Amino acid sequence: MANVEAEISNSPDTGATGDGISPEVTELSRKGYHLLKDGHITEAIHCFRHILENDPANNYALVGIGDAYRKRRRYQEATEYYRDCLRQYPQNNYALFGLADCYRSMKHFHRAIEVWETYLKLDDQNVTVLTRVADAYRKVKNLERSEELYLRVLELEPGNPYALIGLGHLYYDFKLFDKALSYWMQMYEHRGNRADIRVLTSIGNCHRKRKTFQEGVPFFTLALEKEPKNFYALFGLADCYRGLNQQDKSLTYWNRILDQDPSNKVILTRAGDAYRKLGQLDTAEEYYRRALNIEYDTYAVLGLALINKVRGNMREAADSLQGLLKSDPKILRIYPEILECYIKLGDRHSAKSVLELYETAGGIKNDVHERVISLRKAAGV
């Protein structure tokens, strides 16, 4: 399907206001769009303005100036010309396209949708427009309508890459990772190792979310072969190895990120976690403190508390963990750690208080629940 903007530039007579347009206006219109297509925006605007001096309602010239400002990313000014055209010619496809695209670029997605839907009443076969409307609905979290439009594109044009990628993002946003993976895999199967790096990291991220870490590793690895410093590929590979409990391998990639961004406190904390799990407590402590020197970080404080716990400093660990619970009682992974500290300290009263807080924090069905129940029995409370 031809791009709408290309259709405009290649069809200079489409914008005429009616019969009897002078040859001069026709020539100026054609010249204006050729200049616009070649990137001579100022000269194109001059041609279109010359038309409007003699014919203020010329829809081709109004759209032309709108397109010129849109190319310059002066979207607000562009909308004024598109709206002026639509006031006189409400069904001008090119003005509708340009206006909706401006709203999209300004992140006014609801306005863009309203205009796109008007366009679709006139032409519901335009794949470019259908995809953009689907994108806009995705941005406003409307799963059903976005899905409907992307699937419509695939009916009209099976294998359309924008629809496949859009469906992948849509389902990923709604945590439907199996569905997202199926559409991104279609892109990968079509392109193979030539697939765009964003497709590769998206597939890898689906595997991370599904906890199928081993299957995610090859896609992040291929992404790194294409772009060795890509943050998302480095992060994804490190996180997959973290999920596989291969901490030594995860550190290779956490530290490669830190080589580029030594002040990334999130990565410093993740690296600290890996060193701690490998038993390299001094190095782990160094990384946690580096993170805290940048900015307070809950998980760096948690990591230091767990180091104290391993070293047998139960009171110091318990005090740190208690402070974290006061700040955010919904961090459920803290509860078994602090309970274990209080059990080893023989402090049944504090253990009971922590269990009461756990129950009010929504700690019924979660990853730490079985461990909490086991510790509760051990504490005898």
Section 80-89 average pLDDT: 96
The two three-digit tokens of residue 364, written as one number: 């019924």
In the predicted model, is pLDDT for residue 256 greater than 50?
A: yes
pLDDT digits (tens, 9 = 90+) for 104-151: 999 999 999 999 999 999 999 999 999 999 999 999 999 999 999 999
Alpha carbon distance 129, 134 (integer Å): 8
Task: Identify residue 187 by its one-letter amino acid code.
Answer: M
The rounded percent of the chain whose pLDDT value lies above 90 is 81
Q: Which residue has the tokens 């909308």?
A: 79
Q: For position 292, what pLDDT does the model report?
A: 97
The helix (H) or strand (E) run that includes residue 101 is helix 93-105
Section 345-374 average pLDDT: 83
Q: How far is CA 272 from CA 182, 242, 257, in A?
A: 35, 12, 14
The rounded percent of the chain whose pLDDT value lies above 70 is 93
Q: For position 369, what pLDDT does the model report?
A: 80
Section 351-364 average pLDDT: 82
Fold for domain 1-123? 1.25.40
In the predicted model, is pLDDT for residue 50 greater than 60?
A: yes
- Report whether 297 contacts 291 (CB < 8 A): yes
Q: For position 375, what pLDDT does the model report?
A: 82
Q: How many helices (H) and strands (E) does the chain have?
A: 22, 0
Q: For position 27, what pLDDT does the model report?
A: 87
Question: Domain extents for the chain?
Answer: 1-123, 327-381
pLDDT digits (tens, 9 = 90+) for 3-38: 433 433 333 333 334 445 677 888 888 999 999 999
Alpha carbon distance 195, 222 (integer Å): 10
Hey, CA dihedral for 259, 265, 268, 270, is it positive or negative? negative
pLDDT digits (tens, 9 = 90+) for 306-322: 999 999 999 999 999 99
Q: For position 378, what pLDDT does the model report?
A: 76
pTM for the full predicted model:
0.82
pLDDT digits (tens, 9 = 90+) for 195-236: 899 999 999 999 999 999 999 999 999 999 999 999 999 999
Section 66-95 average pLDDT: 96
Residue 181: name the closest of 153, 224, 210 by CA: 210
The packing angle between helices 75-88 and 59-71, to 10°, is 160
